[in-house]
Structure 1
Amino acid sequence: MNVPSRHQTRPTIALAMGDPAGISPELTAKLAALEDVRREARLIVIGDRRLFEEGARIAGIAARAGTADELAFVDLPHPDPASVRRGVAAREGGLSALANYKHALSLACDGKANAVCFTPFNKQAMRLARPSYDDEIVYSAEVIGTTAPASEFNILGKLWNARVTSHIPLADVARSLSMERIHRALGLTDACMRGAGFARPRIAVAGLNPHAGDGGSFGREEIDVIQPAIEAGKAEGIAADGPFPADTVFLRATKGEFDAVLTMYHDQGQIAMKLMGFDKGVTLLGGFPFPICTPAHGTAYDIAGRGIASVTAAREALKLAIAMARQIMPSPAS
């Protein structure tokens, strides 16, 4: 397979097929067929070609992988498509998704792709395949071999949601917060957003407690931990403000006051973002040497194989990967 180098006008995106029991095969096929995407980037699709072709059949499109310069295919023949039970999380599906994703990350690490995109995983299947699996952030860091700070960002249009803590029990959130951790999250948010084209992103920081603590009446985290982190960020030139009550800060952001909201825990931001645009949201894994993007929705087991899965969020994820890849690509003359 001839893989385009980084020194190209168009970025190369490694597109890994996710869980085969869900809508990932049909989404992958739909993405590969998008003419606007094929004009803007070179795609390397990674997965079982038989599953890809079945996904194309379900989606009602021609399976075009490997037929043009714009699209290459890495065929990893696992699992046997006949063994896949749609709508059921299985070890074989998790193994397939992990293998595809690991190969995509390796291509980017080796300089053969400028960014990675993947269609949805199922965490139960991933843990059946790899009991130690925590989440994509931890797994990606292990594969890439980095200990640099990384985080998950949810994006809806021009509005970003970042978070300080992620996949931990709610009971552990308050004791997991520190000035240093919030300050680090602010810095990573600012850096990732600048990498996506924001000149100076305006970041609203949510409080932890009701009414952002109401002056200490409902907790002192805002006073003792969150506010000092915001001030430290401001001293470094980050356009941060807050802490604001979490029940109103997204209203202000949607009106254009802020470009991002930094929340203290997972559902504090996820609920708001998914209410505003469940079928359009994008997840970015930020803090790695290259962009890693995926649609924010899941594997949609309930509609797998019916040909009705919307490609909107997956397309937005791929477009973000393309846009961010362009920001870090060397110029052709370099």
Structure 2
Amino acid sequence: MKTVEKSIIAIPMGDPAGIGPEITMKSLTKQKIYDICKPLVVGDAKVIEKAISIVEADLEINVISSPEEGKYELGTVDLIDLDNIDMNQFEYGEVSAQCGQGAFEYIKTSVDLAMDGKVKALATTPINKESLKAAKVPYIGHTEMLEDLAGAKDPLTMFEVNGMRIFFLTRHLSLKDAINQMTKERVRNYLNRCDQALQRLGVESRKFAVAGLNPHSGEGGLFGMEEVEQITPGIEAAQEDRIDVTGPVPADSVFFQALNGKYDAVLSLYHDQGHIAAKMTDFHRTVSITNSLPFLRTSVDHGTAFDIAGKNIAESISMEECIKVAGEYAPRFTAESLTK
């Protein structure tokens, strides 16, 4: 059996005042992480040292200047230390400019490493929008940062949980505005992009279903005309592009069917449709994957949890899954854009 080379995964530690450092340290106490990848933390050594103490982990910090210097073995935290947090001004659970600036710098450094080919993927921890604003960082979140720093356009979001994959036709829009975006052209374009995204991840079987918008997918126009006028024509156009897709499939059954292997991925039409399906399946193991970047990026799907930061309460399951998914896909990931 061919041995797959383990990839180096950069883990920017997130907002220092949040739970990112804690869940990262908890994750790095697990042998399964090292079995699948080489985790490299990008952060501040003082904050990481404090997190190790809080979670009572048997870990030693190995400060390095470049990824190839890492040991990547259980018990060692390989760390690129940006040394950018003044602990005299630091408080858990507090919005602060220094933490917002720090979080941005960890991400930027990780992106630079990925763009230089020194790491294969990023597994990101939570950042705080208010802290970014306090630091005058001109981005509201990870996606916007990555889009600009990597020179990408309109990154494509995919959720994965228990083998089920979900893409999103629309994201942060009101339901009314999202419906206006459900055009034949957009459905066709996104199905092509979703197929390309799975190719980049090395997924050979790519059978898609498109979720319906209205009850019973509109029942031929009895409960709404969106399926008849826009969604179905978009699916048929994608089929002409040789995309293996069916639908629209009623939303009350399509995710269950995908979870049981009938489809390799589902295109959710709006934010909550897919989010609810994923998080009700397994809230803690839902991992977000950002496609259309020159590198692979996975992320936990929760926030900084300022209310419990520094208290050794936060569960690390989501972070562990985030790193594992990055480790699983990274060796197969194709950085170059694909053409049909």
Q: If the length of structure 1 is used for normalisation, what is the TM-score?
A: 0.88
| 1:78-227 equivalence runs, <5 A | 78-130=84-136, 132-147=138-153, 149-227=154-232
Q: For 1:249 and 1:114, how far apart are their aligned partners in 2?
A: 33
Aligned counterpart for 1:309 among listed residues 305, 314, 328:
314
Matched residue type, 2:222: S
| 1:21-100 equivalence runs, <5 A | 21-66=17-62, 69-70=71-72, 72-100=78-106
Q: Relative to 1, partners in 2 of residues 1:308 and 1:237: Cα closer, same or farther, differing over 3 Å? A: same
Q: For 1:113 and 1:156, how far apart are their aligned partners in 2?
A: 24
| Partner deviation per Cα, 1:138-174 (whole Å, 9 max, x = no partner) | 2211001123x42111110200111011122333112
> How far apart are residue 119 of structure 1 and its match?
1.2
Q: If the length of structure 2 is used for normalisation, what is the TM-score?
A: 0.87
Gaps of 5+ in 2: 64-69, 336-340
Among all aligned residue pairs of Structure 1 and Structure 2, give the percentage whose two residues are the same amino acid: 33
> How far apart are residue 111 of structure 1 and its match?
1.0
Matched residues, number: 322
Alpha carbons 1:32, 1:64 under 8 Å: kept: no
Runs of 4+ in 1 over 6 A off after TM superposition: none
Matched residue type, 1:81: M
Matched residue type, 1:107: L
Matched residue type, 1:284: I
Q: Which residue does the alignment assign to 2:338?
A: none
Matched residue type, 1:188: R
Aligned to 1:21, the other structure's residue is in SS state: coil
Alpha carbons 1:204, 1:241 under 8 Å: kept: yes
Matched residue type, 2:98: E
Q: Relative to 1, partners in 2 of residues 1:167 and 1:82: Cα closer, same or farther, differing over 3 Å? A: farther
For the aligned residues, what is the CA RMSD? 2.3
Q: For 2:311 and 2:303, how far apart are their aligned partners in 1?
A: 16
Q: For 1:256 and 1:81, how far apart are their aligned partners in 2?
A: 49
> How far apart are residue 134 of structure 1 and its match?
3.9
> How far apart are residue 291 of structure 1 and its match?
0.7
Aligned to 2:220, the other structure's residue is in SS state: coil
Gaps of 5+ in 1: 1-7
Q: Relative to 1, partners in 2 of residues 1:222 and 1:320: Cα closer, same or farther, differing over 3 Å? A: same
Matched residue type, 1:21: A
Q: Relative to 1, partners in 2 of residues 1:241 and 1:46: Cα closer, same or farther, differing over 3 Å? A: same
1:15 paired to 2:11: yes
Aligned to 1:155, the other structure's residue is in SS state: strand
